[in-house]
Amino acid sequence: MTDDSGDLDLTQEQRELAAMVRDFAEEVVAPQAYEADRSHTLNLDVVRRMGEMGLFGLPFPEDHGGQGGDLLTLGLAIEGLARVDQSLAITLEAGVSLGAMPVHRFGSEEQKQEYLPSLLAGRQLAGFGLTEPEAGSDAGATRTTARLEGDEWVIDGTKQFITNSGTAITRFVTVTAVTGEVNGHKEISTIIVPNGTPGFTVEPAYDKVGWNASDTHPLTLQGVRVPEGNLLGERGAGFRNFLSILDEGRIAIAALATGAAEGCLESAVDYARSRTVFGAALSTRQNAQFTLARMRARVHTARLAWHHAARLRDAGRPFAEKAAIAKLVSSEAAMDNARDATQIFGGNGFMNEYPVARHYRDSKILEIGEGTSEVQLLVIARTLGIAG
């Protein structure tokens, strides 16, 4: 209903992908979304089908099993899923940006050959263990440690809010850990920890406000031993490497938020047309019309922002500021549209069986995850030369 593809110069292949994902979302994802949310269950059959469609391999080269696409193409798929189910959209986003992408970007050829084929096919998932109880936006406060004993890393620490870390098909979690000190600063590295490694405990899943069908766990590492070769990238480059991944992830989250904002708009328009109030359709009331018009403007603005950031990144041009703008604008659009859609629905908007109620709960995390709104504002302020 709010197709902007003609204005955004998508290729024919990208338009076909967007249409395919939209049909899949309507026919396969939407019918199971309420029950999955209610039962807090990630539907691995749907994940498998997403893998068969090639969605997990979209931005990766073909020689490792990918589709040879780019970040913009991945964003189109994430946006299409998020219209009807944010939990499956974040499963895809995290599976690509936080699971497979670090291996593709920083892994050795041996690590790529071992892990990427199954990750890009959606047969397995991986997580990224950055956040800790005392280290979130300030990831430099990492307390998890890893020390070399012989030819093994010995890892101790805790992680929290780790997506895709405890499913039946999770292969590993890449964890950040302090591996030493350089010039008075923590040396932070990233290490691959396979699920099932002794001492590596995936704790019970969180009871979350939203994203209930997304897999999220705290992790405990006590004397975990993995081979020295499980170091991902250069020693001491873990935090720097993660920040580059995070910039790209912000664009993907912005695409997700745009899809959520559009899903709220579409549901609200349909409901306003069918709902009779004082003898006339709610959609004939000017107040409702103005609300829906503002919702439409937010969707359009959010989509322009994330497309622009994605195109900059795909062209190899600086994009960090535009990624921060896209995430800030789109996450606010999702939250505002969810609130307005819920108001349009009235009492029904408070019932979880309606998608707008789930979007209302789901969308708040978009202003927090992969960099809070405050962090985005700080990034933008620094480009203006007014922040340290």
> pLDDT tens for residues 243-298?
888 889 999 999 999 999 999 999 999 999 999 888 898 999 999 999 999 999 99
Give the pLDDT confidence score for residue 185 in this predicted structure: 85
Give the pLDDT confidence score for residue 388 in this predicted structure: 67
Q: Under CATH, domain 240-383 is a member of which superfamily?
A: Butyryl-CoA Dehydrogenase, subunit A, domain 3 (1.20.140.10)
**What percent of the chain is predicted at pLDDT more than 70?**
97
pLDDT tier for residue 7 given thresholds of 50, 70 and 90: low
Lowest mean pLDDT among 1-5, 76-80, 350-354: 1-5
Per-domain boundaries in the chain: 12-125, 126-236, 240-383
pLDDT of 338 over the 60 cut: yes
Class of the domain covering 12-125: mainly alpha
Q: What is the mean pLDDT of residues 324-340?
A: 98
Give the pLDDT confidence score for residue 178 in this predicted structure: 96
Give the pLDDT confidence score for residue 3 in this predicted structure: 60
Q: What is the mean pLDDT of residues 342-357?
A: 95
Q: Under CATH, domain 126-236 is a member of which superfamily?
A: Butyryl-CoA Dehydrogenase, subunit A, domain 2 (2.40.110.10)
Is 26 designated active site? no
pLDDT of 365 over the 60 cut: yes
Q: Which of 35, 228, 370, 374 is catalytic?
A: 370
Give the pLDDT confidence score for residue 151 in this predicted structure: 96
Rounded Cα gap, residues 246 and 68, in angstroms: 21
Predicted TM-score (pTM) of this structure: 0.94
Q: What is the mean pLDDT of residues 13-40?
A: 97
> pLDDT tens for residues 205-236?
999 999 999 999 999 999 999 999 999 999 99
